[in-house]
Chain A
Amino acid sequence: MTAAECEHQQRLSSEPRAGDDVWIPSACALCYGSCSIQVHRVNGVAIKIEGNPESAVGKGRLCAKGVSGLMVHYDPNRLTKPLRRTNPVKEIGVDPGWKEISWEEALTEIVGHLKRIRAEDPRKLVIQRTTTVTANKNPFQAFAFGFGTPNLSVAGGGLHCGNGAHLISGIMHASWGILPDFQYCNYAMYFGASKGHSAGHASTSNMGMAADARARGMKLVVFDPMCNFAAAKATEWVPLRVGTDAAAALAIGNVIANDLGAIDAPYLKGKTNGPYLIGPDGRYVRDKDGKPLVWDLMAGAARPFDGAAADDMALEGSFEVDGVTCRPSFALLKEHLRQYTPEWAEKITTIPAANLRRIAEEFAREARIGSTIVIEGVTLPYRPVAAIAFRGNQGHRNSVYNFLAVDLLNHLVGAADVVGSCLGFPPVVDGHPDSGRPHYVPVATPDGLMEVGQWMGWHHPYPVEDPKLPKTLGLQGLFPMGMVSPFLDAPDREHWWERFGIEYRPEMLINFGANLLMSIANKDTMAASLAKYEFIVSIDLFLTETSDFVDIVLPDCSYLQSVDSRSNFPTIFSHPAGMGDWSWPIRQPVLPPDGEQRRFADVLLELAERTGFLPDMIAAFNAILELEPPYRLDGGRRYTYEEICDAELKHNFGPERGLEWFRENGVIRWKKKPQEVYWRPFLDVRVPIYWEWMPDIGEKAAALADPRGLEMPLEYYRPLPDWLPCHSHEVEKPGFDFFAFYYRDTLHTNSYTMENAWLDEAAQLDPFSYNVAINAEVARARGLANGDLVEIESDTGRKITGRLRLTECIHPEGLGIAALANHWAKGLPTAMGKGVFFNDLLELDWKRTSPVNLNLDLCVKVKVTRAAE
């Protein structure tokens, strides 16, 4: 089918009939949470969006953003025609001189570039996509695989994404993120997280579940520089210095493990690598088959980890195995933690030592180690405590340790994926009773450690591959635990590409919905990166700041004009945890495209066909969707994306439940089983409390990086977490005495929703959304008042301006800035000039990047001075 025919079909399938009055089930796309919605269409106009009560994803309710979606859809600034620049000058704020062109012209020109690049070296194509308007990675991943480029990134190489949260949740919980078991948890600690307080994955469902937990009496202790969303509802707000979470968590761990001895020994023995013996070199002691050994106390001898009863494994002591002195890794963790006294942590975090001690005691007591509970007739471990971290915690150079130090608290007391504990977004799915699909279960690797059963990224978080000379522009080969990379756009990237022998350079960028100029770091660095591309095509809803660097803009369909068979898959991404239902909802068009808008997934299929790699793209879809006959796609056929969605749905739920069935019903749901929700006791997998592979990875990475001038700091590659300072903690310039930090506002999704007229209006009324939060007493001491316009200067001389909001709800050293605001693009008139552009303070460099997972620091040491009005 040609694109024109496809467009015609799209028009027909969603054509509103005159006089119609219908509610159409679909999926939200105001953030990646993708809650289930129903849209009321009357006389061809969508007049209301509500939650879909038939789905567990949102449970019939929506956040402020979700109910405001029509203002995105009906924004008159939406693009309706392909545009081509006439002005060759690509600079910030320089008018590209847009000229309307036909799709035929646009596609012909794009395909010309694609053909040349694919023949020369397909890796010269970079694909960058947002996760905001769809969480589904598959169309772009299939396109990239089919084309042959590994250079696929998601928006916000640094700020947007959670390299640490996802990596560590994957290794420790087989999931994309963690949250408390709201239905049974009694005591939760949050570090830079707001699960259940109108943010992120499974946002709406979590709000209700968190409120139920609060009403039930769950205590919530929130470690955060700012008392806003979760902290505002907490039993206790624990303000701390920005970026010092690991220090607090390590001190709490020390009290739990050493002072209180409150550990869940059976859990540590049976479900972690705590009993694995570690030699003097810090590595596992292995048998002749390479299996890690444990000490069997009954046998008085070393045994392979799967050759002894867990109960008999030693967690402490020192043993001799073949003349080598070794100790269980738990013993090393326990000893390691001893150095982190609450008094030490107080100096780093500013949290009084007595508070850290008390909180540790409360957490350990409430863990009820050894207790069980019966859920639907199944007896399960009951550990009603959870230590949760997310974006804020791991958005630092010390990303890995900050997150791991928090999560280890769960594992010390056995509070991992059992009743009441820290849960991953659900990773174990047995499948619909009729079909057994989708079916995903984590599995054990040869060392006994867990590998995820479903994942979103390029590679599973564990096992970790050896670092190798990088082949991608983000140098990811060197960082096998990394995800999105700042090297793609860093000012010194050319230097590193040369040093690491990257034999090609980026020439073409396909951008999908990301506003790169604002979403990664300061605009000048991003502008320099974008200006280097020979050709940029961008599929967008609006002309943005990034459009100033684009050659051809293609008008995308909004979520209300689009189709998707997996608006909420994998389940580890945006499905609520805990008991209840599984739901598989779809996204379907409620309205036809306006003007010449086309759905991006169909545009990608068209480009693949015209460029000549459609069979490869179809093969990639088959692999990604794991399609089997009779639903395996035929490489020789041209499919519409709707047909691919139909195949996937039938593959999962049977021939009678294709796209047509889902259009009618919106969602299929079935009951969760306790064995799925609380899977940890039922799966023979272990998780690492001692990251044995880290020194090896660090040394191998250093062996490649150091000779090329990229100094690999090995203190970040130790098996046990530590507190290491961010660059901001080391700045000693006089006058630079605030830690500015970014946080996500409840009314906005990064920069995307700033153009939404309703949300903007509400944000203008909120005291914080568009202002800079500063401690009231500190501000007054400097003669600063509410509403004052200030200049905020980074230690590297970058400057932004914003208006102050004096508050008691922030650490005296903190400067809290919400979201990514202060747009200047003419195509976003609602967003223009509102709020503060925090990212413009950020450098994109190695000093401010996690040397393990490539996360970018979100804290900046700044000077605040009054600015001229």
Chain B
Amino acid sequence: MRLGMVIDLRRCIGCYGCQLSCKAEHGTPPGVFFARVLKSEEGRYPTVRHLFLPVLCNHCDDAPCVEVCPTEASHYAEHGIVDIDQDKCVGCRACMMACPYGNRYFNGERRDYYPGAGPTVYETARTLRHPEGVVMKCNFCRDRLAEGKLPACVANCASTARYFGDLDDPNSQVSTLIKERGGFTLHPEAGTGPNVYYLPP
């Protein structure tokens, strides 16, 4: 089984629901969004398109981050999920340099959302779980998967633009969508074998 995500750019409206539901799921510190939405424009006024591109860790088959990690903190977990063992991470950030997608974050010293006020009870309960001095990123919500739930960004997407499943199964919804709608990956030239696919807008 190789877990992957398909994002339908026709359905996506760039509402940032993924970006913020991811933050809500993981309680990440300031400056960290495992999932993001990028906006771009194509064409010239008035023949122009305003495009939204949600991005996250691509959980690559040949992940350069895993390759360069000196401590084996970045690793392939079950079903092709690329995760970071934060006990092993020494915060060298080689993986951040290696990732062609810029979807990794270094959690340096503690930052609070309300500077000077100390952490809120929410931040104490959620954000401070994330160890400092290590790299962090999307792990396809492994904790949720273990509970039989979909990743938060998929479960919450109000436009139902995100699909999740087994890319090894040719009959899975994700595989079918990629086949039928011409799914593509980002920066295929990097040769990393991403497991996040996009359907054209």
8 A Cβ contacts from B8-67 to A:
8, 10-11, 13-17, 19-21, 23-25, 27, 30-31, 33, 36, 39, 41, 43-46, 48-52
Chain A nearest Cβ from B111, distance in angstroms: 11
B75 within 8 A of A: no
Which of B13, B39, B121, B158 touches A74 (beta carbons < 8 Å)?
B121
B146 within 8 A of A: no
Q: Is the CB of A227 within 8 A of B50?
A: yes
Closest chain A residue to B19, Cβ basis:
A762
Q: Is the CB of A64 within 8 A of B16?
A: yes
Q: Is the CB of A765 within 8 A of B46?
A: no
Q: Is the CB of A204 within 8 A of B158?
A: yes
Q: Is the CB of B30 within 8 A of A766?
A: no
Contacts of B158 in A (CB 8 A): 51, 58, 61-63, 198, 204, 207-208
Q: Is the CB of A46 within 8 A of B13?
A: no
A48 within 8 A of B: yes
B71 within 8 A of A: no
8 A Cβ contacts from B124-158 to A:
125-126, 155-158
Contacts of A810 in B (CB 8 A): 45
A68 within 8 A of B: yes
Bound complex: CA of A208 vs CA of B155, how far in Å?
A: 12
Contacts of A229 in B (CB 8 A): 13-14
Q: Is the CB of A761 within 8 A of B30?
A: yes
Q: Is the CB of A207 within 8 A of B122?
A: no
Which of B48, B52, B126 touches A809 (beta carbons < 8 Å)?
B48
A749 within 8 A of B: no
Among the interface residues B30, B33, B45, B125, which one has the most CB atoms of the partner chain A within 10 A? B45
Q: Is the CB of B45 within 8 A of A808?
A: yes
Q: Is the CB of A63 within 8 A of B15?
A: yes
Q: Given the known A-B contacts A61-B157, A207-B158, A809-B50, are A747 and B16 also in contact in the complex, defined by CB atoms under 8 Å?
A: yes
Which of B11, B33, B44, B160 touches A762 (beta carbons < 8 Å)?
B33
Contacts of B123 in A (CB 8 A): 74
Q: Given the known A-B contacts A64-B17, A229-B13, A766-B39, are A207 and B45 also in contact in the complex, defined by CB atoms under 8 Å?
A: no
Interface of A is mostly: mixed
B161 within 8 A of A: yes
Q: Is the CB of A812 within 8 A of B45?
A: yes
Chain B nearest Cβ from A11, distance in angstroms: 17
B113 within 8 A of A: yes
A448 within 8 A of B: no
Q: Is the CB of B13 within 8 A of A67?
A: no
Closest chain A residue to B43, Cβ basis:
A808
Q: Is the CB of B49 within 8 A of A232?
A: yes
A214 within 8 A of B: yes
8 A Cβ contacts from A738-789 to B:
746-747, 757-759, 761-762, 765-768, 775-777
Chain A nearest Cβ from B2, distance in angstroms: 26
A45 within 8 A of B: yes
Closest chain A residue to B156, Cβ basis:
A61
Bound complex: CA of A231 vs CA of B41, how far in Å?
A: 13
Q: Is the CB of B120 within 8 A of A76?
A: yes
Bound complex: CA of A865 vs CA of B118, how far in Å?
A: 41
Contacts of B1 in A (CB 8 A): none
Which of A70, A765, A768 touches B24 (beta carbons < 8 Å)?
A70
A820 within 8 A of B: no
Contact bitstring A814-858, B, C-beta under 8 A = 1, else 0:
000000000000000110000000000000000000000000000
Closest chain B residue to A203, Cβ basis:
B158
The tally of residues in B whose CB lies under 8 Å from a CB in A reads: 47
Chain B nearest Cβ from A597, distance in angstroms: 15
B172 within 8 A of A: no
A469 within 8 A of B: no
Which of B24, B33, B50 touches A48 (beta carbons < 8 Å)?
B24
Contacts of A215 in B (CB 8 A): 8, 10-11
Chain B nearest Cβ from A201, distance in angstroms: 14
Contact bitstring A378-398, B, C-beta under 8 A = 1, else 0:
000000000000000000000
Contact bitstring A177-213, B, C-beta under 8 A = 1, else 0:
0000000000000000000111000001001101110
Q: Is the CB of B125 within 8 A of A45?
A: yes
Bound complex: CA of A43 vs CA of B52, how far in Å?
A: 38
Contact bitstring A279-307, B, C-beta under 8 A = 1, else 0:
00000000000000000000000000000
Chain B nearest Cβ from A236, distance in angstroms: 10
8 A Cβ contacts from B48-95 to A:
48-52
A47 within 8 A of B: yes
Bound complex: CA of A75 vs CA of B33, how far in Å?
A: 20
Closest chain A residue to B45, Cβ basis:
A808
Chain A nearest Cβ from B45, distance in angstroms: 4
Chain B nearest Cβ from A157, distance in angstroms: 29
Contacts of A746 in B (CB 8 A): 14-16
A42 within 8 A of B: yes
Bound complex: CA of A214 vs CA of B39, how far in Å?
A: 20
Q: Given the known A-B contacts A61-B157, A198-B13, A807-B41, are A76 and B27 also in contact in the complex, defined by CB atoms under 8 Å?
A: no
Q: Is the CB of B159 within 8 A of A232?
A: no
Chain A nearest Cβ from B183, distance in angstroms: 15
Contact bitstring A209-223, B, C-beta under 8 A = 1, else 0:
011101100000000
Contacts of B157 in A (CB 8 A): 61
Bound complex: CA of A747 vs CA of B49, how far in Å?
A: 21
Closest chain B residue to A48, Cβ basis:
B24
Which of B10, B11, B17, B41 touches A67 (beta carbons < 8 Å)?
B17
A228 within 8 A of B: yes
8 A Cβ contacts from A30-75 to B:
42-43, 45-51, 58, 60-65, 67-68, 70-71, 74-75
Bound complex: CA of A747 vs CA of B121, how far in Å?
A: 24
Closest chain A residue to B114, Cβ basis:
A76
A253 within 8 A of B: no
Bound complex: CA of A71 vs CA of B119, how far in Å?
A: 12
| A-B pairs with lowest CB-CB distance, top 7 | A198-B15, A232-B50, A211-B159, A64-B16, A207-B158, A757-B113, A76-B117
Of the A-B pairs whose beta carbons lie under 8 Å apart in the complex, a sample of 15, sorted by A's number, is A61-B158, A63-B15, A64-B16, A67-B156, A68-B20, A77-B117, A207-B159, A227-B50, A232-B14, A232-B50, A757-B114, A761-B33, A776-B45, A808-B45, A808-B48
Chain A residues in the interface with B (C-beta under 8 A): 42-43, 45-51, 58, 60-65, 67-68, 70-71, 74-77, 196-198, 204, 207-208, 210-212, 214-215, 227-229, 231-233, 237, 239, 746-747, 757-759, 761-762, 765-768, 775-777, 807-810, 812, 829-830
Chain B residues in the interface with A (C-beta under 8 A): 8, 10-11, 13-17, 19-21, 23-25, 27, 30-31, 33, 36, 39, 41, 43-46, 48-52, 113-114, 117-118, 120-123, 125-126, 155-161
